[in-house]
Amino acid sequence: MKKILEEILDKAAYAPSGDNSQPWWFTIGENNIDVHLVPGRDNPILNFRLSGSYFAHGALIRNIEILASAHQFRTETTLLPDPEDSNFVARIHFYKDATIRKDPLTLAITDRCTNRKPYASKPIPGDFITEIRNIGERIQSGKLLLIEDKAKIVSVANSLVVMERTALETKAVHQLFFDTIVWTKEEEAAKEKGLHIKTLELPTPIQGLFRIIRHWNIANALNHIGLSRLAAKGNAKAYATAPLMGVIAMQGSSTEDYIRAGMAFQEIWLTATARGVALHPVAGLLYLTQRILSNEECPWSEKHSLRIIDAYKNIQTNFETGNTTLAMLFRAGYAEEPTARAGKRPPVIK
């Protein structure tokens, strides 16, 4: 049994996480896996109240449940089983059940990846949209909302890049962002987290520019001649190439809400992968907003806060979310294979 559960974890740990932080470790019992969170791993500004980490745990838990089916296990998951320990995210029990069939999404688990390339304008098939809407219907205390209208997609893309402007114009956020980038595969393997430069899909001249503007003084000087505005414009154009955008909107913003949103999102992403549809989460702005709405101290200026709130409201309007918490936003479409994939660490089992 232990060996099977270890095998399940080897693959489940391919789950997505903010800055590829993989903020988890595990214990294995007689017929259960306990999932634990590493609190300091993800970006301290973006990962507001660890919501990004809990969201990633949702994706991880869904992977474990899906992989269990390949071994004819039925699972029962208890979220946050210990009220005294919020880092104990889930206990998943496994029960042998001969009626269980292998979930077809199993194969997509190690195939799934973030694709930050520009997307082709080819429309998304209606049956795929129906399939992911059905996943959205099952979100407890939340919903999936989609937009395909070009004008709305352009408007949302322009709002999302308020994140890039804030990051390039605020020393603390700039530093965190550039500290996250890893420049070689060796550095990626040695570091606990990080985004490999090649996975960012930057055009070659911009990759060179990145090496220079990682120094705050240079970035700050270039901002005076329009660097941050140009960078935002370029990204907005790339984001807007997607024929489909989606948000997961939750009624609340509790830890459990973020875990459940992550579980649904993973199912959507695996369904996309199985269908050859590329997907890219774009969540930075949503997490900056949560910090402002909670009246926490922010490292950016008041002017940036106003821009961020306006952008968030514009996204809510375009998706007609009402006054909900946007736990995730993603773009989806058809694209070339990504240039590089994020490295994954073997799961830590204690």
Ligand X SMILES: Cc1cc2nc3c(=O)[nH]c(=O)nc-3n(C[C@H](O)[C@H](O)[C@H](O)COP(=O)(O)O)c2cc1C
Binding site for ligand X (CB under 6 A): 16-20, 52, 55-56, 113-114, 116, 195, 280-284, 341-342
Shortest Å distance, C-beta 329 to ligand X: 8
SS3 at position 138: coil
φ/ψ (deg, to 5) at 35: -110, 125
Choice between 160 and 213, CB closer to ligand X: 160
Q: Which residue's Cβ lies closest to ligand X?
A: 16
Shortest Å distance, C-beta 160 to ligand X: 8
Choice between 28 and 298, CB closer to ligand X: 298
Choice between 28 and 268, CB closer to ligand X: 268
Shortest Å distance, C-beta 85 to ligand X: 22
For residue 340, CA distances in Å to 197, 198, 199, 235, 324 come to: 9, 6, 5, 19, 35
Shortest Å distance, C-beta 280 to ligand X: 6
Q: Virtual CA dihedral for 294, 298, 302, 307, nearest 10 degrees?
A: -70
Shortest Å distance, C-beta 166 to ligand X: 12
Distance CA 151, CA 256 (A): 34
Per DSSP (E only), the strands in 151-277 are 181-182, 195-196, 244-250
Shortest Å distance, C-beta 102 to ligand X: 22
Q: Which of 109, 98, 55, 100 is nearest to 79 (CA)?
A: 55
Q: Which of 119, 202, 129 is nearest to 153 (CA)?
A: 119
Choice between 20 and 77, CB closer to ligand X: 20
Choice between 142 and 281, CB closer to ligand X: 281
Spacing of C-alpha 99 from chain mean position: 33
Choice between 55 and 119, CB closer to ligand X: 55
